[in-house]
């Protein structure tokens, strides 16, 4: 259920970006969601469709990039994508430690309809 609150924040960010740039509407948003967050992209889309209704973001396409969880092996010094149900380094077999990669949740960029032309903005 935490997706609802987070999706409301996304909607607010998108609408604020549209207002800031004098856009008619938001046409698309690109999100990065780390697999460690527990956020379910399908839930975000479902809540977004409800929350964005009758706003400048209604009908906007959400594009989600899932950020894989990355581990670090102290033994061999390599970073690796965490295998399913394992923390073992695929290079040397030692246990890896979690890194911050895989914990992300942010709006990477927004596409806006500004006077009939699409415009892309980043950094939200």
The candidate with the shortest Cα–Cα distance to 63, out of 103, 101, 92, 31, is: 31
Q: Model confidence over 26-65: pLDDT tens digits?
A: 999 999 999 999 999 999 999 999 999 999 999 999 999 9
Assess whether pLDDT exceeds 90 at residue 119: no
Whole-model pTM?
Answer: 0.82
Residue 121 in any domain: the answer is no
The candidate with the shortest Cα–Cα distance to 36, out of 87, 106, 83, 100, is: 100
Tokens of 97: 């430690």
pLDDT score, position 118: 60
Residue 122 in any domain: the answer is no
Residue 57 in any domain: the answer is yes
3-state secondary structure 55-124: CCCCCCEEEEEEECCEEECCCCCCEEECCCCCCECCCCCCECEECCCCCCEEEEEEEEEECCEEEEEECC
Residue 123 in any domain: the answer is no
Residue 96 in any domain: the answer is yes
pLDDT score, position 105: 95
Which domain CATH number covers 52?
A: 3.30.2320.80
Residue 124 in any domain: the answer is no
Residue 78 in any domain: the answer is yes
Lowest mean pLDDT among 46-50, 83-87, 90-94, 119-123: 119-123
Phi and psi torsions of 70, nearest 5° = -115, 140
Assess whether pLDDT exceeds 90 at residue 122: no
pLDDT score, position 84: 84
How many domains does the chain contain in total?
Answer: 1
Residue 81 in any domain: the answer is yes
More confident residue, 82 or 33: 33
Integer angstrom CA distances of residue 65 from 16, 43, 45, 90: 22, 14, 13, 24
* Domain enclosing residue 100, as ranges: 2-116
């Amino acid at each position: 259920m935490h997706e609802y609150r987070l999706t409301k924040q996304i909607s607010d960010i998108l609408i604020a970006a549209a207002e800031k740039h004098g856009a008619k509407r938001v046409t698309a948003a690109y999100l990065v969601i780390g697999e460690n967050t527990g956020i379910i992209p399908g839930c975000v889309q479902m809540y977004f469709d409800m929350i964005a209704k009758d706003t400048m973001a209604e009908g906007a396409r959400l594009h989600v990039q899932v950020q894989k969880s990355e581990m670090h092996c102290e033994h061999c010094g390599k970073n690796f994508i965490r295998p399913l149900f394992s923390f073992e380094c695929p290079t040397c077999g030692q246990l890896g430690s979690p890194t911050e990669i895989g914990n992300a949740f942010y709006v990477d960029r927004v596409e806006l309809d500004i006077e009939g032309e699409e415009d892309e903005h980043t950094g939200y």
